[in-house]
Structure 1
Amino acid sequence: MKKILVPTDFSKQAENALQVAAQLAKKHGSEIYLLHMLELPLSQVDALSQHSELPEAMFFMKLAHKKFEQTMSQDYLDDVVVHETVDFNQTFTGIKNTCKEHGIDLIIMGSHGSSGFKEMFIGSNTEKVVRTAEVPVLVIKNEHENFKIDNFVFASDFKNDNKETYRQATELAKAFGAKIHLLFVNTASNFVTTATAKARIMDFIKDYDFEDYSISIYNDESVEKGILNFSHIIGADLIGISTHGRQGIAHFFNGSISEDLVNHAKRPVVTFKI
């Protein structure tokens, strides 16, 4: 967790994400890449890249720099290395490019809650970031004065997921000093016996030496409701799920479970690419 990317539109939700990133940076000696997207028409981007004094493009550049200065003056960023980055690509492309260019380990994004990222990242950009980001994406819903993760729910079918996602989850759990609650949600349409589910989970985690975990088989009307209800019952600090298009666990969850959880969960959610 040495390099953290925080996309920002300078909203309160983005600031909540940045505050969490700052706490993690101070704890782990990380650097933060603060990314603002300027989605200008291509003709203006080309002109600006040629050092044109195009009034509209220059105005937005200066405005972004002013907002960066205001953000950088916040006390919670004291003693944190923050790199200011402005990209002219579409949101998803800019995030993807920044991750590759700087070797980002974790993306932290702010969200409104019920309306999800759509207030910040319009349209399909949101789904593309959550589904296909090469690194874990941590979604922050609220302000966290002290971002502390003790109980981390990792929900899976423990069958279609790539086991690499669990390795990434254990690395996060170690960094947070958290216990992982391995959760299998049973539904009427996809019923599995407890013995079968437990055997599947044990086979899934057998190659990893992470020991601070528990196994839970939870029955509910849907997988999403099961994850949310179980997380509420145990007072989870973080929910982790895997996602990649319509494959793996996303298919098992009947489509958009990752996006639904990001939108509906009241607690932080982290997604891992399969």
Structure 2
Amino acid sequence: MKKLLVPTDFSEQAENALKVAAQLAKKYDCEIYLLHILEIPLQEVDPMSSYSSLPEAVFFMKLAHQKFEKLKSKDYLEGLTVHETVDFHEIFKGVFHVSKKHNIDLIVMGSNGVSGLREMLIGSNTEKVVRTSETPVLVVKNEHKDFKVNDFVFASDFKDESKKTYEKAINFAQTLGSKMHLLMVNTPTKFITTGEAKERIESFAKSFNFSNYSVNIYNDISIEKGVMNFSKSIHADLIGMSTHGRQGISHFFNGSISEDLVNHAKRPVITFKI
């Protein structure tokens, strides 16, 4: 883990994410890439010109640079290598582009969550990044003066398709020195016996050379509530899940547990795309 991407709109939530990224950067000798997206309406762009030639774009780029300079002067960034980028895309496309260009290892984002009709209709920018990013995404909502991950809950159905994401989660846990709590949530509509669940998790875990974990089965009315309630019960520092990257009508009807957790969980959440 050497390159961290922190998208920012210069809000309090974005700065909470930057503070966590700064702690990781100092501990693991990482560079930070700060990204601000200017979303210019397409109808305002002359097909023969570029985004950067628009008077509005020039103004907002200068404004962003001023805000970057103020942000980079913060004490918690002292001694760190911080790059700044202003891009012209939808946010999730901009994050994807910068991640590929700079070979980013981890995206750290702030979120205040959304709920109700707003969530159903447009979701949040963080949710869109979680849904589409090939790079692991760490979502932070609150300020963490000392970001430590001693207890890391990895929730899954522990089927073969999750093995690649679990391997990424193991690498992250080993980097941070975390104990992983492997969690399967039993719900009324997707119920299997405790014996079957334990056998599946243990068989899954044996495929990897990693022993610092516990096996847990938790019963609740939904997977989302089960993950949050179990994490609360053990005072977990971080929740990890896979995301399928569903989009369009499939996402609307089926939803995504990882995206719901990003919106609703109070604890930091890290997602790994299958």
Q: Which runs of 4+ in 1 moved over 2 A?
A: 44-49, 113-116, 122-128
- Match for 1:237: what amino acid? D
- Tell me the distance in 1 between the aligned counterparts of 2:63 and 2:132: 31
Equivalent residue number for residue 94 of structure 1? 94
Is 1:268 paired with 2:268? yes
- Tell me the distance in 2 between the aligned counterparts of 1:79 and 1:156: 39
- Match for 1:271: what amino acid? T
C-alpha change, 1:149 and 1:97, in structure 2 (3 Å) is same
- Tell me the distance in 1 between the aligned counterparts of 2:47 and 2:138: 30
Question: What secondary structure does 1:22 align onto?
Answer: helix
| Count of residues in Structure 1 that have an aligned counterpart in Structure 2 | 265
- Tell me the distance in 2 between the aligned counterparts of 1:127 and 1:113: 9
Normalising by structure 2, we get a TM-score of: 0.90
CA displacement at 1:160 relative to structure 2: 5.7
Contact 2:4 2:30 in 1 (8 A): yes
Normalising by structure 1, we get a TM-score of: 0.90
Question: What secondary structure does 1:242 align onto?
Answer: strand
CA displacement at 1:115 relative to structure 2: 4.7
Contact 2:4 2:104 in 1 (8 A): yes
- Give structure 2 stretches of 5+ with no counterpart: none
Equivalent residue number for residue 145 of structure 1? 145
- Match for 1:215: what amino acid? V
Equivalent residue number for residue 165 of structure 1? 165
Deviation per residue, 1:168-206 (Å, 9 max, x gap): 111111111110000011111111111111111122122
Contact 2:110 2:126 in 1 (8 A): no
Equivalent residue number for residue 238 of structure 1? 238
List aligned pairs for 1:2-13, cutoff 5 A: 2-13=2-13
CA displacement at 1:165 relative to structure 2: 0.5
CA displacement at 1:238 relative to structure 2: 0.3
Equivalent residue number for residue 111 of structure 1? 111
Equivalent residue number for residue 217 of structure 2? 217
- Tell me the distance in 1 between the aligned counterparts of 2:58 and 2:220: 54
- Tell me the distance in 1 between the aligned counterparts of 2:83 and 2:137: 19
Q: For the aligned residues, what is the CA RMSD? A: 2.3
Question: What secondary structure does 1:190 align onto?
Answer: coil
C-alpha change, 1:94 and 1:163, in structure 2 (3 Å) is same
C-alpha change, 1:45 and 1:168, in structure 2 (3 Å) is farther
CA displacement at 1:59 relative to structure 2: 0.9
- Match for 1:232: what amino acid? K
- Match for 1:96: what amino acid? F
Question: What secondary structure does 1:97 align onto?
Answer: helix
CA displacement at 1:107 relative to structure 2: 0.4
* Identity across matched positions, percent: 66
Equivalent residue number for residue 38 of structure 2? 38
- Give structure 1 stretches of 5+ with no counterpart: none
Equivalent residue number for residue 129 of structure 2? 129
CA displacement at 1:55 relative to structure 2: 2.8
